[in-house]
Amino acid sequence: MRIGIVSETWPPEINGVALTVHGLAAGLAARGHSIDVVRPRQARRSVPEPGFDTLLTRGVALPRYPGLRFGLPTGSALRERWTQERPDAVYVATEGPLGWSALRVAGALGIPAATGFHTRFDSYAGHYGLRWLTPLVRGHLRRFHRRAAATLVPTEALARELAGLGVGNARLLRRAVDTQLFHPDRRDPALRAQWGADAATPVMLYVGRIAPEKNLGLAVQAFRAAQRNLPAMKYVWVGDGPARAALQAAHPDFVFTGVQRGEALARHIASADLFPFPSLSETFGNVILEALACGVPVVAYREGAAREHLRSNYNGYCIASGKAAAFVEATVRLAGNPGLIRHMGRAARESMARLSPERVIREFEILLRELAEDSTHGHATVAVHA
């Protein structure tokens, strides 16, 4: 098959959407499909990848998100490209102007298209003082995804939520984790020593964008509460973002490592002891799976990946959404009990053993093939399995 992949974020940008979409595209290419990537041009030139044909489009920097861009409309270029080399199906991963262009052109040419619901932009507005925009953003998302034959979501809960918003075409495509890359064996005593932590020092970890929508104040509160009983405890922050400078200035004892990728990221995660993740704005949260695969117990709200994969008193603590006191209490309990950390860490690793990236790629391939076949036979939509 020839498959169009349209995304306004792409590696080397580091975020869950870029990494997930690239992983899907690379997996399809490895299975022999021809991948037509459409994405904004980046400041850094990327190395061409086998199996990818790439159209680079104009982009504009995303406000308050340095290093990220959204693509500008490019309908004429897409129409010419897809007329000359028609994709069998198109996957549009992002809801920006480039994504809209792709959906319109695909519809005009009769090419079946699926969309991905990766980011809760409707919930982000309130974190940047723009809460009045939330209904407008939500309406935009509804109109966008209803144009597709299927909207891919990582959890059943999100499928139900979209149905409540009037998007009835949700289809489940679960996420996976590379359990060979993210593994407890990557724990590195030398790296811990750089953080000022010996074998007996508990290390709390944050991985992700350091930004207001991640509920970082609660993370700090939980750490300080645990630190009262464990003065030597360390807090390591992996990532970057608009809130980093202020956070670093206010908490000079925190360890900030910047963005980490690949094996370095896996080593950082596996070298920690617990991973409280307080975000309430995730559609999924890949890093939760990565921490569990590394044998690091997680404390998180019952949202996204945590709802699907986190079991309280087994591989961490799954907290009812918005219960800040319970979140802090669980973090304190876990940080102060090395035996519990080890027990939950073993369970965390075991709980990720069956999440195969290859299985997800096969399911994605099947879905796109169904779209193409349904389009050939004159059907407009695919069956919903969410």
Residue 51 is predicted with a pLDDT of: 85
The reply to whether 139 and 74 lie within a common domain is yes
- Asked whether residue 302 is domain-assigned, the answer is yes
Residue with tokens 């219960």: 323
Judgement on whether residues 16 and 146 belong to the same structural domain of the protein: yes
Cross-strand partners of 255: 236
Cis peptide before 48 (omega within 30 of 0): no
Residues 6+ apart with CB under 8 A from 128: 64, 212, 213
Size of the chain, expressed as the number of residues it contains:
386
pLDDT tens for each residue of 354-383 = 888 898 999 999 999 999 998 776 644 444
Written as one letter, the residue type at 251 is H
Check residue 158 and give its pLDDT.
85
Q: Is the pLDDT of residue 129 over 60?
A: no
Whether residue 244 sits in one domain with residue 110: no
Contact indicator for 280, 301 with CB cutoff of 8 Å: yes
122 in a structural domain: yes
Place of tokens 């319970």: 326
Q: Identify the domain containing residue 136 by its residue range.
A: 2-176+356-376
- Rounded Cα distance between 9 and 22, Å, is 9
| One domain for residues 160 and 188 | no
Q: Which two tokens stand for residue 128?
A: 């940047």
At residue 177 the predicted structure's pLDDT band, cuts being 50, 70 and 90, is: very high
Arithmetic mean of pLDDT, 10-35:
91
Q: State the pLDDT at residue 133.
A: 58
Share of the chain above pLDDT 70, in %: 90
Answer whether 142's CB lies under 8 Å from 166's CB: yes
Q: How many CB atoms lie within 10 A of CB 287?
A: 26
Dist CA 206 CA 279 (whole Å)? 11
Q: What distance, in Å, lies between the first and last C-alpha atoms of the chain?
A: 25
- In Å, how far are 31, 50, 117 from 34, measured between CA atoms? 9, 9, 23
Digit-coded pLDDT (tens) for 261-308: 999 999 999 999 999 999 987 778 899 999 999 999 999 999 889 998
185: its two tokens: 């064996």
Average pLDDT, the chain: 89
Cα angle value 314/316/318 (rounded, 5°): 105
Q: Which of 138, 177, 342, 327 is nearest to 266 (CA)?
A: 177
Q: What is the pTM of this model?
A: 0.81
Examine residue 383 and state whether it is found in any structural domain, yes or no: no
Task: Please check whether residue 386 lies inside any domain of the structure.
Answer: no
> Domain tally for the chain?
2
Angle (CA) 49 53 57, round 5°: 105
Q: Strands of 170-172's sheet, edge to edge?
A: 52-57, 34-40, 2-6, 89-92, 113-116, 150-153, 170-172
pLDDT-based confidence at 68, cuts 50/70/90? low
Residues 188, 309 within the same domain:
yes
Residue 317 domain-assigned? yes
Across 14-21, average pLDDT: 85
Query: What confidence score (pLDDT) does residue 156 get?
Result: 87
Inside any domain, residue 263: yes
pLDDT tens-digit profile of 237-263? 999 999 999 999 999 999 999 999 999
Tokens of 374: 């349904």
- Listed residue (331, 340, 341, 339) closest to 224, CA to CA: 331
pLDDT at 127: 44
My answer on whether 246 and 136 are in the same domain is: no
Q: Parallel, antiparallel, or unpaired: how do β-strands 59-61 and 69-71 relate?
A: antiparallel
The pLDDT assigned to 115 comes to: 96
The reported pLDDT for the residue numbered 134 is 61
Do 257 and 127 reside in the same domain of the chain? Answer: no
Is the per-residue pLDDT at 123 higher than 60?
no
On whether both 147 and 189 belong to a single domain, the answer is no
Mean pLDDT throughout 170-197? 95
Distance CA 277, CA 334 (A): 13
Give the other-Cβ count within 10 Å of 171's Cβ: 22
Q: How many CA atoms lie within 13 A of 262 on its CB side?
A: 3
Q: Is 224 part of any domain?
A: yes
The encoded tokens of residue 257 equal 């490592």
Each residue's pLDDT tens digit, 308-343: 899 999 999 999 998 999 999 999 999 999 999 999
Token representation of residue 345: 């860490």
Q: Which of 58-62, 112-116, 175-179, 298-302 has the lowest mean pLDDT?
A: 58-62
230: domain CATH number is: 3.40.50.2000
Q: Are residues 95 and 234 in the same domain?
A: no
Asked whether the beta carbons of 261 and 283 are under 8 A apart, the reply is: no
Angstrom distances, CA of residue 359 to CA of 158, 312, 365: 21, 27, 10
Residues 150 and 267 in one domain: no
193: its two tokens? 């020593």
Dump pLDDT digits (tens) for 48-57.
788 899 999 9
Confidence band of 121 (pLDDT split at 50, 70, 90): low
Q: What is the pLDDT of residue 297?
A: 98
- CA-to-CA distance for 380 and 305, rounded, in angstroms? 31
Return the percentage of the chain with pLDDT > 90, whole number: 68
Banded model confidence at residue 65, pLDDT cuts 50, 70, 90: low
In a domain, 384, yes or no: no
pLDDT at res. 378 = 60
Asked if residue 263 and residue 132 are part of one domain, the reply reads no
Instruction: Answer yes or no: do 6 and 141 share one domain.
Output: yes
CA torsion, ordered 21, 23, 27, 29, to nearest 10 deg: 60
Average pLDDT over residues 35-43: 91
